[in-house]
Structure formats: C-alpha cells, structure tokens
Chain A
C-alpha cells in the first residue's frame, strides 16, 4: 500500500499508539487520525493478544511501523533474528511507513553482546556513514522497500569518550549524505532537534542563548524530497543548567509547534505524528494534540506557497 492508495485527504496526521490507548482507539467509531504508529518490538510476540490487537488496528487504520531495536549505526552486524522478526511484521502489517533510528544500541563486552535498550548516538564521519548505509541497505533489501531514519536526541558526543574519534560532518550533512547513499528517507523529529539545541545552550561553557532560527535554517537545508515523516513531541521541564531529557512526557512544546508551523509549510503533505510515551495523557488529550497539528497543517495546505515541492 502507498500513501496515494490510502486516498487520505491531506494533511496526514497520526498519533503514536501505546498500550494504554489500545481500547480507546478500537472502541466505537473510527477516530480522527489518518494513521497510527506502533513500536515494532511491542508486537514481536509470535501470537497471543498483541497479534489479535494488531489485526484489529490494521483493519481500520493505516500504520507506521517504527523500529527501536535494530541499532543500524552499530559497527556490529545487523542482528539477523531481530531483522527477521521485523521483516515478518512488515509483511504481516503492510505498513504505510517503516522507520528506524540514527543510532547504535549494543557492543561486544567479554565476547558477549550487551544491549542498552536505548538509542545511543553515533559519530558523524565517513566510516560511520559507510557503516550505517550498508546496514540500512540490508534492511531495505530484506523488506524490499525503503525506510525512514529518525534523527536522534543525544546527550554525549563520541569524542567525549574517545577523543581521537572526530566528526567530519555536521548532523544534517550526515543525514543528507546517508539518505542519498542508502536511498532511504528522513523521519524528521522536531522535538529531538529542540532538545539537542536546548541542551547545547543550557550546558555550554560560555553563555549561549537558545534559538529556534538555528534549527529552522538547518531544516531549510534539507532537500524537500528526503523528508518522509515528521515527529512532534514534548518534554518534561527540568531545572535550569540540567540536561533536558527527551522523555515524550508532556504536551507538544510551544517551540515544537512553532517549528512544525515552519516545517509543514516546507514539507507540505508529509505524514506528521504526535508522540507521547511517558506520563501518558488521556486519549482525548492526545487527540487534541493531533487536532492541533491538523489545524496547522491545514492552514498551510490552503496557502498558495504550499505544494511546491522541490
């Protein structure tokens, strides 16, 4: 199935579906969302209730399948058994979108591969680029379709742990090169960009002010055809001078709405999704966030500037 085949009216707005909302989504009439996004690993069970729920979901809603455990940026090979489970899920659900992250998640210690269960940042250089490109291509060859890769929120740079390991690209240069070489698309997570920028500003040695215009100019550097999905989210407030944790535990932030207003104008019609993963809201609150995203996207669909995709 392709986006065109779903014949959804633009804009295309979705929500991240978590366990506490399964019954809300599936009860009663079809909800006002164009698609839902699930974490692939939550449906890796071979059978049982989760498969039955998944069948109900895909019978009514277009699906975005979001992987969190392939760790494609790792120097270790792509784990065959996890890739097989991922591919089986793609085959079973025939999702509208398939995505993973710009990250690694495991390493071999004392001959044993240990797994962080988290999304960890990779360096941005030629070697790491060649590595992740080959892994993305392996996934794409296995599932016979292109995937989207999400930019990451990160609290550490590789050179802080291994000083000789240097970045030779900026994050956006790396993302663009990765998409072009691997033939994949970009899942542009606006909240991750904000969290990274806020942490840079809050924790810089010299006083630095946070500026959305820095992020906007980077977004403007992205070729329009590369962005296949946009993520929106919020983060919990922390003390000043502390790292902001990308916890997806609050309403979409004001900075994120401002960025979305700009991004959806540039990438008009791009499927856009509200994520909320901790301190879960009620379903109506989450739907309210989706409605807000729809209103912003609608505003730009009516604009004569929209739809001029490069």
Chain B
C-alpha cells in the first residue's frame, strides 16, 4: 500500500477521538461476554493472538464495570422494585435496561427515568402488572429527595388575611406532584420498607397486608378492564424524606391548580367548587407542608 501524504494523515488528536469512540461504543454495543471470557482465562497460541485476546478481555472488564456500576445505581434508585422481584431478578432487569438505554447523563442519579415503561414492555414481568407503577413511585421519590431545599414560611400565610387573593400564589413543597395510580403502591411500598413488617412479630400483620394487596391488585385489573380512572397519589417533600398518600379527585384537582401557579383566588374557587371545607383544606395543606408559603 502506498503511504498517504502527511497532510491527510489523521492527527494524534483525531486518533484519540477515534479511540474514545471505539472504547465507549464497545462498552455500549458489544455482546455480553461469556463467563470464561470475562474471567480472562484463555490460552494464547501466539503473541499476536495473545494481544488480541488481552484487548478483548480488557473491553469485557470495562463493559462489566459499566454494568455493575449501573446495577448498583439502579438498585439505589428503585429499591421497591428490587425488593419486590428479588435482588437476583433485579440484576437481570437492570442489565437489560443498561444495554437498552444508553447512558447520556453524567450522574448515575439522573439515569433510569424510562424504567416504568421498560418494565411494562417485559413479558417476563407480565405477572407483576403493579411493578411499573412501583418504579414510577420509586423514581418520583428519588427525584424529589434530590430537589433543592425550600424554606417553610409559616408567617407568610398571614398574608391571606390582609392581601388581595388574586395577587398571591401558594409556594408548593419541593417536588409536589400528582401521580395517577391504579395499583396499591402505597401498601406495596409499606410491605417492603416498613421496618416493623420485616420483623418476626409482624407475621400476621404482613399476611393481612398481603391479602389486602392481592385484593386491591385484582380490583385494579378489573378497573382497567372497565376503563375506570386511576386514583390520585400526591407526592411531596416536607422535610428530607418524600411523603405520599392517596387524595380524593377533588383534592388532586386543587393541587393541580396550585401546580399551575394560579392565583390563590382561583385555587380557593376550585376548593369551593369541589365542596371542600376551605379552612380544613388549608389547615391540612399547611400542617402536612404540601404548601410552603404564600407570596
């Protein structure tokens, strides 16, 4: 082969960029190595072959590091899902997810947003139709617990007495949102995270809860068949830990008015329209710190 003229030879910087693409793409696109390949045990027939095998083993290590780091990170983000399907099954799920969704976020904590949809698409998880919703709740909790802190300004609510309501707006708690829910995700969350329910003394309570959960799952499946609307789960952060509970459709509608940054006057109109008791609604919203201030 004739030598290329010097000006068309790629620069070291271009070659470095090629190398970066080559190594990164090998992490994301190559087939998973067999256990023999991963352990790096191979006899080398000659030096050149040995060199090739070593490079292959090295790429396996980097891909394995990526998968192990990713599985660890996803287990932190989706603890309810991991607990419900077992750590072993979660490893399989997480590995498939990691190979399906490329990691474009720098921070592992920002990776995993599509897990609920991904779970929905897994035939192997068809027997656990509630799992996708649990993943959605896990993701919301994870995201909300990383939101910026906000000051709860109790004295600001005095403005409601003295200021024109159309000039005021409620400040929602960090992460306040409404999640549609068909399945008993609150009970499922409690089942795996409540320390008492994990104790030996709680065998009967756990059995009762499981019965309720199974009943609710059947009801949810029937509701879906009948195209009934979901319930509303409100999720927010009062202090450091995310809170969540079911609310009525009326309460959910009012919260949506707050999230739309409507003036207090319109939020109150919604409260009245839904036949909610205004002072009771306001006192609960403040006491549970779903709203942090009025400005």
Contact present for B55 and A156 (CB under 8 Å): yes
The verdict on B240 contacting chain A, using a C-beta distance below 8 Å, is yes
Q: How far is the CB of A180 from chain B (nearest CB, A)?
A: 20
Contact present for A205 and B103 (CB under 8 Å): no
Interface size classification for chain B: 35 or more
Contact present for B20 and A107 (CB under 8 Å): yes
The verdict on B21 contacting chain A, using a C-beta distance below 8 Å, is yes
The verdict on A224 contacting chain B, using a C-beta distance below 8 Å, is no
Contact present for A112 and B13 (CB under 8 Å): no
Contact present for A156 and B59 (CB under 8 Å): yes
Contact present for B105 and A164 (CB under 8 Å): no
Q: How far is the CB of B251 from chain A (nearest CB, A)?
A: 25
The verdict on A138 contacting chain B, using a C-beta distance below 8 Å, is no
Q: Contact mask B29-71 → A, CB, 8 Å, 1/0? A: 0000000000111001001001100110111011001100110
Q: Contact mask A242-281 → B, CB, 8 Å, 1/0? A: 1101000000000000000000000000000000000000
Given contacts A41-B107, A49-B241, A155-B61, contact A104 B146 (CB under 8 A): no
A92–B105 alpha-carbon span in the complex (Å): 23
Contact present for B147 and A242 (CB under 8 Å): no
A46–B148 alpha-carbon span in the complex (Å): 4
The verdict on A131 contacting chain B, using a C-beta distance below 8 Å, is yes
Contact present for A116 and B27 (CB under 8 Å): yes
- Residues from chain B with a CB closer than 8 A to the CB of A93 are none
Given contacts A47-B148, A156-B23, A162-B18, contact A116 B39 (CB under 8 A): no
Partner of A48, one of B44, B105, B237: B237
Contact present for B58 and A112 (CB under 8 Å): no
Give the segment of A121-129, A141-149, A225-233 that binds chain B. Answer: A121-129
Contact present for A161 and B54 (CB under 8 Å): no
- Residues from chain B with a CB closer than 8 A to the CB of A115 are 103-106
- Residues from chain B with a CB closer than 8 A to the CB of A156 are 23, 55, 58-59, 62
Q: Contact mask B12-25 → A, CB, 8 Å, 1/0? A: 11011111111111
- Residues from chain B with a CB closer than 8 A to the CB of A76 are 20
A50–B17 alpha-carbon span in the complex (Å): 36
Contact present for B40 and A114 (CB under 8 Å): no
Chain A 8-59 interface residues, beta-carbon cutoff 8 Å to B: 41, 44-52
Contact present for A161 and B107 (CB under 8 Å): no
Chain B 170-225 interface residues, beta-carbon cutoff 8 Å to A: 174
Given contacts A108-B21, A162-B18, A165-B15, contact A118 B69 (CB under 8 A): yes
Given contacts A112-B102, A114-B103, A117-B69, contact A165 B16 (CB under 8 A): yes
Contact present for A162 and B19 (CB under 8 Å): yes
- Residues from chain B with a CB closer than 8 A to the CB of A241 are 40-41
Query: In the complex, what residue of chain A is closest to B11 when comparing beta carbons?
Result: A127
The verdict on A310 contacting chain B, using a C-beta distance below 8 Å, is no
The verdict on B157 contacting chain A, using a C-beta distance below 8 Å, is no
The verdict on A306 contacting chain B, using a C-beta distance below 8 Å, is no
A20–B11 alpha-carbon span in the complex (Å): 46
Query: In the complex, what residue of chain A is closest to B145 when comparing beta carbons?
Result: A48
Q: Contact mask B89-120 → A, CB, 8 Å, 1/0? A: 00000000000001111111100000000000
Query: In the complex, what residue of chain A is closest to B18 when comparing beta carbons?
Result: A162
Query: In the complex, what residue of chain A is closest to B55 when comparing beta carbons?
Result: A160
Q: How far is the CB of A17 from chain B (nearest CB, A)?
A: 16
> What count of chain A residues pass the 8 Å CB interface test?
54
Chain A 76-98 interface residues, beta-carbon cutoff 8 Å to B: 76, 79, 81-82
- Residues from chain B with a CB closer than 8 A to the CB of A245 are 61, 65
A47–B174 alpha-carbon span in the complex (Å): 10
The verdict on A1 contacting chain B, using a C-beta distance below 8 Å, is no
- Residues from chain A with a CB closer than 8 A to the CB of B40 are 203, 238-239, 241-243
A113–B104 alpha-carbon span in the complex (Å): 6
The verdict on B5 contacting chain A, using a C-beta distance below 8 Å, is no
Contact present for A123 and B25 (CB under 8 Å): no
The verdict on A158 contacting chain B, using a C-beta distance below 8 Å, is yes
- Residues from chain A with a CB closer than 8 A to the CB of B13 are 75, 127-128, 131
The verdict on B229 contacting chain A, using a C-beta distance below 8 Å, is no
A201–B190 alpha-carbon span in the complex (Å): 52
Q: How far is the CB of A152 from chain B (nearest CB, A)?
A: 12
Partner of B41, one of A52, A74, A114, A242: A242
- Residues from chain B with a CB closer than 8 A to the CB of A52 are 240
The verdict on A192 contacting chain B, using a C-beta distance below 8 Å, is no
- Residues from chain B with a CB closer than 8 A to the CB of A164 are 10, 15
Given contacts A41-B107, A241-B40, contact A123 B148 (CB under 8 A): no
- Residues from chain A with a CB closer than 8 A to the CB of B16 are 75, 122-123, 127-128, 131, 158, 165
Beyond contacts A117-B108, A165-B16: 14 other A-B pairs, Cβ-Cβ < 8 A, are A44-B107, A46-B146, A49-B240, A82-B107, A108-B21, A114-B102, A114-B103, A116-B23, A127-B11, A128-B13, A160-B55, A161-B19, A162-B18, A205-B50
- A residues at B contact (CB < 8 Å): 41, 44-52, 69, 74-76, 79, 81-82, 104, 106-109, 112-118, 120, 122-123, 125-128, 131, 155-156, 158, 160-162, 164-166, 203, 205, 238-239, 241-243, 245
Nearest 4 A-B pairs (CB), nearest first? A47-B149, A45-B146, A127-B12, A46-B148
5 inter-chain pairs at a CB distance below 8 angstroms, sorted by A residue, are A48-B145, A112-B102, A122-B16, A161-B26, A205-B50
